[in-house]
Structure 1
């Protein structure tokens, strides 16, 4: 019984992200106005990581289960020895190169799949940089945000723990004015919701099957074709501030959604090796 509580199976999406062809990681870069004290980061994480099951569990040998483990925070917080004199004024270039090299190094699967890199390097936007790398199978962006927010304190009021605003739950049948005795209406709602769930599931499965067999991506001016295997090509990461007005201009000219524009530009840049990156 204790072993069952310590081990939990991976969700279907987590298994997809763990597959060899995908093996997707989330890389988050955060800038700070002051230099970072690594000891404080380690101390705060010791009190918060255990509250987040995925960040305190490692992958099983068979790759199918999460195994609860004791996290040694020092193994996950990396403070590289940086020669500031060699970097000079090119802090942005150093951070870009560091992140690019980091993406080529796989996470150690013998421990929880995340790490934090502290770079006390001055850039054009910050005095210090933190690079957080976590495997996508640990969860989505909200899981990472929860850990970050829980590990944050105000210097003016250290006892205050910030929280993420909870989403309001949808109204239940009782909030719609249905009485508990009105079992017939509740039965109708239950049947309708069940049928809608079955229908959506069937449609999704058919779309997945059709995509595997013959459906292709929509042809757009941002759709890039390449016969090269871009998965093994070294990429360099650049930090850019994008104007929303420019994005809206592209959206209007190409009759696309903003998400499609951003996805297209990102995919176009990541589909080429370093020496063929397009210039926008």
Structure 2
């Protein structure tokens, strides 16, 4: 029996008509590399051939009677590719504006829970018909950032005419139990829940004690509920707006090397600079720094061998209160080192352990009450937004034979945090995807356009610093190692 983990199921319970819990992706393709000329029918058939034996694409939810336990996955015996891969064409002139407008609309549509929780929209006519775009949606109950990338690789190859990448041993479908067995297992799970809770109380208490010690020593990660309030930190609606932009990975690496920081530090500093510029233009820049929740994969450290989501989270200040880009980066790098050390000291499975106690009915009712009472606008801001960095391929990839020239991930937004920034590397480029509640951030482009500018400012600052104080090769190597 393939039962959802507590963390996977939590993304189902968190979902409301406004707070949609699917993960999207905007994949821009160059069909000129396809061995067989592009046609929608051929694309749909090729996708079907690759996914029809993969459980993550062909399983659906089955609820436990009375909602006494988390749902289970069962094979969808009515699986039909035509329910999942659809065709659209962009209105003329078929440019960027038309693409993000259509993608924003698709992102705001919920997935049908009676079927496998994914969809793809094949969008034709982009850039005068020279490009084809895949807009994908998968529910967060099915994937996190890493597992989502792995699933997409079922459809990707290293050469236009090569077979898609294999993902190791073939997955098996879980056994489908009867209603009585489901009810019996749910009752046992509820009876043993207090015992399991006792087992994780002591480790959690120890973690809290260590966190307090770190806070007193000034080496703890930034604390939630300390973020300043902005225009995108309230109750969200079901409307979405999307923007995407590309950055050069070599330019980011040059900043990393010159400053002795990491690629993730640089990306967070660029995001902080873009947010600062956006808020400053609107006359809304807070005096204190914005606070981001940064998902962290614990897939390699986790002891659990079940569940799609193996993530934790750390909180990072974005330095939006610092005007100088280099100073912002260096301050963030120092605080990020403390945050990473603090995060590493916490059990990789702590979030998953506590998520097991999310009661389906209670959790769902609480989320709806939270939204209905607009509580996100009444308590201190937990965090301003989510920023995620998903590692991607360093070489060209081909989706059903078409070269991927753009790969923009788009995560969910939440009540109280109406903006999500997700970045992914791909063949020497950094693809930045920004999604927001339209009422929280009506003009995403006003934020997105600052990302290349902030990267340029960092490089200009480095050149100016090196011109003023020549740096030897040994000094640069020492910085890179620090």
Q: Decide: shared fold, TM above 0.5.
A: yes
How many Å apart are 1:49 and its aligned residue? 1.9
Deviations 1:178-231 (A, max 9, x none): xxxxxxxxxxxxxxxxxxx97994258859xx9xxxx63444xxx543586442
- Bigger fraction of residues in strand: 2
Partner residue of 2:47? 45
Deviations 1:30-49 (A, max 9, x none): 11112743223322333332
Deviations 1:15-44 (A, max 9, x none): 111013554111011111127432233223
Q: TM-score, normalised by structure 1?
A: 0.65
How many Å apart are 1:68 and its aligned residue? 1.2
| 1:132–1:126 CA distance, 2 compared to 1 (3 A) | farther
Give the 3-state SS of the residue equivalent to 2:127 in structure 1: coil
Q: Give the number of equivalent residue pairs.
A: 230
Give the alignment partner of residue 240 of structure 2, picking from 210, 217, 235.
Answer: 235
| 1:122–1:111 CA distance, 2 compared to 1 (3 A) | same
Judge conservation of contact 1:31–1:129 (CA < 8 Å) in 2.
yes
How many Å apart are 1:153 and its aligned residue? 4.6
Map of 1:48-197 to 2, 5 A cutoff? Answer: 48-62=50-64, 64-70=71-77, 71-80=79-88, 82=89, 86-88=91-93, 90-123=94-127, 127-153=131-157, 157-158=161-162, 160-163=163-166
Give the alignment partner of residue 224 of structure 2, picking from 208, 216, 220.
Answer: 216
| 1:124–1:17 CA distance, 2 compared to 1 (3 A) | farther
| 1:37–1:143 CA distance, 2 compared to 1 (3 A) | farther
* Higher RCO, 1 vs 2 (CA within 8 Å, ≥6 residues apart): 2
Give the 3-state SS of the residue equivalent to 2:126 in structure 1: coil
Distance (whole Å) between structure 2 residues aligned to residue 266 and residue 29 of structure 1: 15
Distance (whole Å) between structure 2 residues aligned to residue 37 and residue 201 of structure 1: 56
Instruction: Tell me how large the CA RMSD over aligned residues is.
Output: 4.1
For the pair 1:270 / 2:436, whether they are aligned, the reply is yes
Partner residue of 1:14? 8
Judge conservation of contact 2:108–2:238 (CA < 8 Å) in 1.
no
What stretches of structure 2 of length at least 5 have no aligned partner? Answer: 33-37, 65-69, 170-198, 213-222, 256-265, 274-324, 340-384, 389-418, 422-433, 451-482
Judge conservation of contact 1:107–1:114 (CA < 8 Å) in 2.
yes
Distance (whole Å) between structure 2 residues aligned to residue 140 and residue 155 of structure 1: 26
Deviations 1:162-184 (A, max 9, x none): 34699xxxxxxxxxxxxxxxxxx
How many Å apart are 1:253 and its aligned residue? 2.7
Distance (whole Å) between structure 2 residues aligned to residue 204 and residue 117 of structure 1: 48
Give the 3-state SS of the residue equivalent to 1:241 in structure 2: strand
How many Å apart are 1:13 and its aligned residue? 0.9
| 1:228–1:30 CA distance, 2 compared to 1 (3 A) | closer
How many Å apart are 1:252 and its aligned residue? 4.0
| 1:126–1:202 CA distance, 2 compared to 1 (3 A) | farther
Deviations 1:73-99 (A, max 9, x none): 11100102x3x6x411x4211110111
How many Å apart are 1:151 and its aligned residue? 2.4
Distance (whole Å) between structure 2 residues aligned to residue 127 and residue 253 of structure 1: 40
Deviations 1:89-119 (A, max 9, x none): x421111011111122110111001000001
Distance (whole Å) between structure 1 residues aligned to residue 202 and residue 327 of structure 2: 33
